[in-house]
Amino acid sequence: MNRLWIKNPLAAFTANQLDGSGGVVVSGGIITEVLAAGQQPSTPCGQTFDAGSHVLLPGLINTHHHFYQTLTRAWGPVANAALFPWLRNLYPVWARLTPRDLELASTVALAELLLSGCTTAADHHYLFPGGLENAIDVEVEVVRKLGMRATLTRGSMTLGTDDGGLPPQSTVQAPEVVLEDSERLVGQYHQRGPEAMIQIGLAPCSPFSVTKEIMVESALLANRLDVRLHTHLAETLDEEEFCREKFGLRTVDYLDSVGWLTDRTWLGHGIHFTDEEIRRLGAARTGVAHCPTSNMRLASGTARVLELEDAGAPVGLGVDGSASNDASNMILEARQALYLQRLRYGAEVPVERALGWATRGSAAVLGRPELGQLAPGMQADLALFRLDDLRFSGSHDPLAALLLCAADRADRVMVAGQWRVVDGQIPGLDVAGLIAEHSAAARRLVNG
């Protein structure tokens, strides 16, 4: 009798061909039934939740983030900068991060994601200045406290300004340190199987901040440990030019040369690809995390998402760092993705396709086929949105209204069968206290 029927939603998006208008049945953290209109559960349920005022979605999945950047949102000196000058100004600030700073920043990022309907988040953390060597351990504890799923990638920067890279030497680590810590983290935290809550990936930062050697060694280690690979690639034309000058290769050729053009890999941004490169990425089943808000904010360009997806490359969504978005809101990111891709391909790009990138597509990017859909046997990760705010008044299609009328906050969120957001709030989280301490840390960080 521990079965829960989430009953008769206002509308349901299943991310597949199933009709979920009668709701879903959840038991033991798993979706056991998806019901069409008028259907009843096959056996009685001990609990019901009347979703008649809610739009029901699979939990949204964020494939690219930098949690620590919530401390440098809307910072004046970089408010109007493109990627490279943006980074050069922020690297010295980020180098002052402390473990408590990271804990606060990660809590803010994850709480904001959770409240936006996100149940799984991938973070790319590549900053390990003195005193912050255990950054991923800090993130693990925050994820556990909030009860979310996460793919935490152990990033690295090994190519500093002394050797022609972009980051300052104070943020660079030796390759052996990176690889040893990466193996430790996988052994200590990486969970396998469909119920996994925390997974670890390996993530050298970008072509302009790591050596080819660490890319090669990371690929070999990921193969040996059977974990995923992540990096930034083809985000800007400056990066393309850097690759040509430093390595004598375009970005996808570079990726291939270091053993990363595989289905184990997913790429942050993935904007500046030729037709042939899109074909190669699709053939390799290399994933792309589309980050529309960040791409617009930094004027990096527009990813060719429909062509990537049609070629066979899994495509998901990422909010990117909160210093280039400057938010951590997945339902708004789906809206931005819809509009940016309509600008490229036309108004016929459907709402459902954008929601698919935020759910089933993102699950494929992270190698989590048990997430991102409402179907029997899938993990019970769900997001429910109400449409009773003023912004929705006069709307007719509930599913379209989520994106077209700019839903920004979920009313209920379930992760692994447990309610983690109730009535638009995270139970047990002191949001006012968090904001006060996080804001104080942000002011201290930028003021040195």
Taking the C-alpha atoms of residue 232 and residue 217, their distance in angstroms, rounded to an integer, is 17
- Say if 436 falls within a structural domain: no
Residues 38 and 175 in one domain: no
Residues 25 and 71 in one domain: no
Rounded to whole angstroms, what are the CA distances from 140 to 13, 135, 189, 190, 428? 30, 9, 8, 10, 18
- Say if 257 falls within a structural domain: yes
- Say if 397 falls within a structural domain: yes
Strands 11-12 and 4-7: unpaired
Residues 328 and 256 in one domain: yes
Q: Is 87 helix (H, G, I), strand (E, B) or coil?
A: helix
What does the pLDDT read at residue 230?
98
Q: How far is CA 184 from the centre of its chain?
A: 23
| Inter-residue contact 201 to 154 (CB < 8 Å) | yes
Counting as low any pLDDT under 50, the low residues of the chain are none
pLDDT, tens only, 202-211: 999 999 999 9
pLDDT, tens only, 248-302: 999 999 999 999 999 999 999 999 999 999 999 999 999 999 999 999 999 999 9
Report the number of distinct structural domains present in the chain.
Answer: 2
What does the pLDDT read at residue 170?
85
pLDDT, tens only, 228-253: 999 999 999 999 999 999 999 999 99
pLDDT, tens only, 343-380: 999 999 999 999 999 999 999 999 999 999 999 999 99
Burial 396-433 (b: 16+ CB within 10 A, else e): eebbebbbebebbbbbbbbbbbebbbeeeebeebeeee
Residues 296 and 198 in one domain: yes
Q: Is the pTM of this model over 0.85?
A: yes
Torsions phi, psi for 423 (to 5 deg): 55, 40
Residues 128 and 53 in one domain: no
Residues 193 and 238 in one domain: yes
DSSP letter assigned to residue 3: -
Q: Give residue 159's domain range.
A: 60-365
CATH number of the domain that residue 272 is part of:
3.20.20.140
Residue 321, C-beta contacts closer than 8 angstroms, at least 6 positions apart: 65, 66, 68, 69, 294
Which of 58, 3, 154 shows the shortest CA–CA distance to 415? 58
Residues 284 and 390 in one domain: no
Residues 254 and 348 in one domain: yes
